[in-house]
Amino acid sequence: MSVLIVGGNGQDGSILQSQFAKQNVNSFIISRDGLRLKELFLVGPKDLNSEYLAKLIRVHEITKIFFLAAFSLSSAKRTTVTYKREIKNHLQVESLLSQIVDAVDKANVPIKLFYFSSSMVFGEIRSTVNELSPFNPNSLYADHKIRCEVILTERFANNNLVNQHIIYFFNHESRLRPSDFFTSKLTKSIIKKDFDWAKTQMKNSRNEVFIDMGYAPQFMQFLIQLSDIPTGQEKYIFSTSYTYSIRQFLQFVMDLETNPHPLIEPIKDAEFIISNAKLISELGIRPNVLIHGHELMYRLITDWQHDGAKNA
């Protein structure tokens, strides 16, 4: 058995590849650099076509495809990218998805295809969310995600060989986030004991932004478990079911100045609770298994310190 990870060099793709490697599962990776198996480049990005990919699926017995490719932006980069450039990049991802869909059709073998959507398709969330909640996109990125879902559902709605699964991911973080992401800056400021950074950010913060904070390696672990369960055409929401504001995380850093090891209880009155009863039922996940909020911060701090020790 082999798996194909599209967008395999990003945070989630890198974690998936690593976890599959521990299980001795062969992973093919499609990234901006092209298609590769381990370190061997097989084909460049300009050469990708559905005929080649269909042959790859059949010859190497690929049974699962994880489509993670996306043009996502940190808040720092969002202000520097033009409307035209963002649209162009989203269309490139949609074209790649169409190639994958065509390849799966041509391969004509049993396969599970996991597409990674976004909580952003639901817009600003003020109530309980579940797999049937209406879309309310308020960004180009969310519109793009919905178009990709349409590409999948229109092609495979009546295909008995293809089980397609749409995963709505809420925010999930890891050590692999780029340096311009909030959690990377936050974690490094804690390690460096740079409390002035948090104070400056707090002073300059203009609004109360709420975000869900999950631990990416754990989300990927659940995803692999899910991929082994016999299911039909399903949608799943991955979330910790807790939200915190940016201000709360900044306050967490400033509190460390006076109390280096605070005992912080999770917030009970979250802004919303995600309805993922099916996911919990299928995987046997208990709510307290999910890492959220300040627990996530401690995990990221440990991961950064461990990585720094390895590279020292």
Specify the 3-state DSSP secondary structure of 56: helix
Distance CA 280, CA 171 (A): 18
* Count of CB atoms situated within 10 Å of the CB of 200: 12
Contacts of 26 (CB under 8 A, 6+ apart): 1, 2, 3, 20, 37, 60
Are the C-beta atoms of 240 and 266 separated by less than 8 Å?
no
Distance CA 271, CA 14 (A): 31
* Count of CB atoms situated within 10 Å of the CB of 178: 11
Distance CA 80, CA 67 (A): 26
**DSSP secondary structure, 212-269, as one string:** E-EEHHHHHHHHHHHHTS---SEEEEE--S-EEEHHHHHHHHHHHHH-SS---PPPSS
Specify the 3-state DSSP secondary structure of 148: helix
Q: Is the pTM of this model over 0.85?
A: yes
Beta-bridge mates of residue 67: 6, 115
Of 26, 110, 99, the closest CA to residue 63 belongs to 110
Each residue's pLDDT expressed in tens, for the chain with a length of 312 residues: 899 999 888 899 999 999 999 999 989 988 876 666 654 555 555 567 889 899 999 999 999 999 998 887 655 555 677 888 888 888 888 988 999 999 999 999 999 999 999 989 998 777 778 888 889 998 889 999 999 999 999 999 888 899 999 999 988 999 998 888 888 899 989 888 899 999 998 887 766 777 888 899 999 999 999 899 887 788 888 888 778 888 888 888 888 888 876 655 655 556 666 666 677 777 777 767 778 887 888 889 889 888 765 654
Ordered by where they begin, the domains of the chain are 1-169 (3.40.50.720)
Are the C-beta atoms of 216 and 15 separated by less than 8 Å?
yes
pLDDT at 88: 86
Are the C-beta atoms of 114 and 64 separated by less than 8 Å?
yes
Token pair listed for 196:
């002035």
pLDDT at 78: 57
Are the C-beta atoms of 98 and 128 separated by less than 8 Å?
no
